[in-house]
């Protein structure tokens, strides 16, 4: 196997309470990269479309939620499942110097990218 491969963690359930719809909530796997004056956060949410993710900011805590439309395979029934299905959630406390006005988020290929600007 090539050495140019990194291993990802597994889907882990959050401590957040279960949704009223009985859907399980997973912690979104995250990459955080800080470069110069901005921080880029990438949240992995397979199954969530561009309109299904929401970012909220409250008391310096940024919360992201991704709603996943469950795949119903019409007449088919599941015979083997290696992963669970559910929504995604993750929260981070932000430092004081993050510019709260300039938080951008973009969903692409099941990955939500949020960028925070920290002015010097």
CA atoms within 13 A on the CB side of 111: 10
CB of 97 to another protein, least distance (A): 15
Q: What is the DSSP letter of 10?
A: -
**Where on the chain is the footprint of another protein (CB under 8 A)?**
1-2, 4-10, 29-36, 39, 42, 44-49, 52, 68-69, 71, 73-83, 109-111
Closer by beta carbon to another protein, 6 or else 20: 6
Closer by beta carbon to another protein, 22 or else 78: 78
CB of 120 to another protein, least distance (A): 15
Closest to 105 in 3D by CA, of 48, 68, 69, 64? 64
Pairing, β 24-27 against β 86-93: parallel
CB of 83 to another protein, least distance (A): 4
Closer by beta carbon to another protein, 83 or else 119: 83
Closest to 93 in 3D by CA, of 41, 35, 26? 41
CB of 108 to another protein, least distance (A): 8
Closest to 12 in 3D by CA, of 25, 30, 31? 25
């Amino acid at each position: 196997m090539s050495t140019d491969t990194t291993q990802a963690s597994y889907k882990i359930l959050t401590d957040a309470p279960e949704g009223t719809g009985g859907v399980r909530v997973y912690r979104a796997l995250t990459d955080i990269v800080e470069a110069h004056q901005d921080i880029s956060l990438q949240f992995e949410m397979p199954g969530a479309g561009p309109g299904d993710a929401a970012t909220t900011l409250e008391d310096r805590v940024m919360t992201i939620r991704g709603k996943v439309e469950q795949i119903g395979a019409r007449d088919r029934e599941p015979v083997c499942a290696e992963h669970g299905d559910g929504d995604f959630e993750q929260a981070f406390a932000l430092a004081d110097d993050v510019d709260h006005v300039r938080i951008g988020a973009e969903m692409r290929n099941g990955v939500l990218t949020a960028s925070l600007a920290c002015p010097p």
